[in-house]
Chains A and B, each alone.
Chain A
Amino acid sequence: MNDAVLRIRDLKTCFDTRDGMVTAVDGVSLSLGRGECLGVVGESGSGKSVTFASVMGLVKKPGFIAKGSINFEGRELVGLDPKNYRKLRGKEIAMTMQDAQTALNPAYTVSNQIIEVLLAHDETLSGSRKAQRRQARQQALEMLQLVGIPSAETRLDDYPHQFSGGMRQRVMIAIALACKPKLLIADEPTTALDVTIQAQVLELIADIRDKLGMSVILITHDLGVVAEYCDNVVVMYAGQVVENGPTGAVIATPQHPYTQGLLRSIPRLSDLSRRIEPIKGTVPELIDLPDQCRFMDRCTRAQASCRDLIAMQDCGAGRQVRCIAPGLAGGSDV
């Protein structure tokens, strides 16, 4: 993929905590093409948010990027100076957070929070400070209309708490998209919402992606969402990528036992008789992990050679998997 917007190579992000060195992201590589939507799935604690906090340059103390490379449109982001990073954030790479309720500042109106991004980045604004604010306000209004806030004009000067959960999520998306970024990182955009609103918000993101031609990273727990909206998918487990590839293929014939387990653990309306099988056990502590397969303890197919270092290996059709005995369980019926 030459036309990659984002390319992460062998990223390792650690937290130097009192209990020891937590390696939250361990050797993650992935790449995202222009206009592509990439799904990132994995259990809670698998390192999804930390991976993309690393991309945003927002890993906070005691965390740090230990090694690896993050290439955005030909620019290396690891080690980029704060000033240039600031110019990038919100303008070229935007992010929405898991919970809009807490991500919006309760002390400021919605228009204020959109306008400030525009004032920080938008070079097309011109004239006096006041004139710029007026133009930015007009754009803020257009953004709120774009994300489908009813009677947006009258809602510009409302505070976040005056919006419903779904509307707040839209406001947050409007803020993220205000400067027409090339890449949107949507961290679990729908987890806090009920099902019908979930679909609306995802449709909205897909819609705007087409309109603006931006690339989207969709972080989620929900493989159903991935199946519906993502071109490619990356499955993460305990800080590592365990499987990636085109969404359809990965879901039809999952290769890694963890992916297979994930697929078996989601309920299907079409087949209520089928038993849901949750994956037994929990994600390991990420401190001082040995160089073996991290899923081994929970894997039904573990064998002696799983104790060796397991690398990602190609398995055809643009797919990769981190397992010495991939695919054995056969296709899933999802």
Chain B
Amino acid sequence: MSVGKFIERLLQLIPVLLGVSIIVFVMMLFTPGDPVAIMLGDQHVTEELENALRHDMGLDLPPHQRFFKFLSNALTLDFGLSYYHRQPVWDVIASRLPATIELSLAALVFALVVSIPLGVLAAVHKNSLLDRIATVTSLFGVSLPGFWFGILLIIFFAVNMHWLPVAGRAGFESEVAPITHLLLVDSLLRGRIDAFWDALRHLILPTITLGLPMASILTRVTRASMLDVLNRDYITFAEAKGLSKTKILIKHALKNALIPTVTVAAIETGSLLGGNMVVETVFGWPGLGRLVVESIFVRNYPLIQAAVLFYAVTYVMLNFFADILYTMLNPRVKL
């Protein structure tokens, strides 16, 4: 794909993102409750002070002006103040983001590493015991509620067996000076094997809980597309050429079979964001998902709005990325 085409596709995102921000803005316009009253809580203040606050927050402007203000602020990552944290909203979000990114990446890697070999083996040995186990397990995997499964894992592996920590991201003793803010990476970069190990142990259960539904979906996608590909003429033709079994499987079948898997994975990464809220809450994971849940309980509207916008933009970008990936893997599709 040429750079020009890539930029063209990138520019096409602008109307989508504009639409997303309009929706988020309208949502907050119709959210019940007066933001100023919520912000003030139980404090009693004079009417002038209240009006001044309202003016400060731009709430006295007509909607379209408020929207442009919202948009221009959003472009500079200015989402106002989170009074609950007494910090700018974006600073709060940014401080929680690395934990979420680390967990999501771990879940993505887990899902891919489990689902691709499993899906391929299930397809190659269709109707075998392994295939049946994979099919049933993946059915459970998509339908198990994350909070329930997470708690089950905690009870068994942490509470009963003491193999893994119950919650949190890392112990105090394994703090390392941040570089990338991803603990696994930073601890390695700083040469702290103990901290790496500690971070990894904390990561295991939330990763499995978060990644399981995705792993299940991807196993089914991989199995189905592999079955389809294995029946194609080009596989028979590859056999007729006298190529080895592994070559046929890895080179001729897998590359084609992975096109849907990779595309679905990129799209499903967006849904990891939603799963994060549940999993981070269950495992006390200090990420964005838990922050959003906390913010909902305390009605921290500015933060929720910013987070919703952030999720939406991320989702759009992931879909864009999935598109690009699909075209790169599939020479027949031209942008």
Contacts and interface: CB of A to CB of B under 8 A. Distances in A.
Interface of A: 56, 58, 86-91, 94-95, 97-99, 102-108, 116-117, 120-121, 159, 161, 172, 175-176
Contacts of A161: 331-332
A320 to B, nearest CB: 29
A172 B332 CA distance: 18
Interface stretch (B27-35, B109-117, B234-242, B284-292): B234-242
Contact of B241 (A90, A98, A102, A108): A90
Contact of A90 (B233, B240, B329): B240
Contact of A89 (B240, B329, B332): B240
Given A90-B240, A106-B256, A117-B242, 18 more contacts: A58-B236, A58-B239, A58-B240, A86-B243, A86-B244, A89-B240, A89-B242, A94-B240, A94-B241, A97-B236, A102-B233, A104-B234, A105-B234, A105-B252, A120-B241, A121-B242, A161-B331, A176-B240
B240 A88 contact: no
A176 B232 CA distance: 18
B255 interface: yes
Nearest to A187: B240
Contacts of A106: 234, 256, 330-332
Contacts of A103: 233-234, 236-237
A95 B238 CA distance: 10
Contacts of B240: 56, 58, 89-90, 94-95, 97, 176
A107 B242 contact: no
Which of A94, A99, A106 has its CB near the most chain B CB atoms (within 10 A)? A106
B interface majority secondary structure: helix
B224 to A, nearest CB: 18
Contacts of B256: 105-107
Contacts of A94: 240-241
30 contacts: A56-B239, A86-B243, A89-B240, A89-B241, A90-B241, A91-B242, A94-B240, A94-B241, A95-B237, A97-B237, A102-B234, A103-B236, A105-B237, A105-B252, A105-B256, A106-B234, A106-B330, A107-B255, A108-B251, A108-B252, A116-B243, A117-B241, A117-B243, A120-B241, A120-B242, A159-B331, A159-B332, A161-B331, A172-B237, A175-B241
Contacts of B233: 97-99, 102-103
Contacts of A176: 240
Interface residues of B, number: 21
A172 B241 CA distance: 11
Contacts of A91: 242
Contact of A104 (B237, B247, B329): B237
Contacts of A104: 234, 237
Contacts of B247: 116, 120
A281 to B, nearest CB: 30
Which of A98, A105, A106 has its CB near the most chain B CB atoms (within 10 A)? A105
| 9 cross-chain pairs, A with B, having the tightest CB-CB distances, nearest first | A90-B242, A89-B242, A102-B233, A90-B241, A103-B237, A105-B234, A95-B240, A159-B331, A103-B233
B332 A105 contact: no
B255 A87 contact: no
A290 B156 CA distance: 64
A88 B233 CA distance: 20
A49 B240 CA distance: 13
A172 B244 CA distance: 19
Contacts of A87: 242
A103 B238 CA distance: 8
Which of B233, B240, B247 has its CB near the most chain A CB atoms (within 10 A)? B240
A120 B243 CA distance: 6
Contacts of B255: 107-108
Contacts of B244: 86, 120
Contact of B330 (A56, A98, A107, A116): A107
A98 B241 CA distance: 15
A103 B232 CA distance: 8
Contacts of A117: 241-243
A168 to B, nearest CB: 12
A103 B329 CA distance: 19
Contacts of A97: 233, 236-237, 240
Nearest to A98: B233
Given A97-B233, A99-B233, A159-B332, A105 B242 contact: no
Nearest to A175: B241
B235 to A, nearest CB: 8
Contacts of B241: 89-90, 94, 116-117, 120, 175
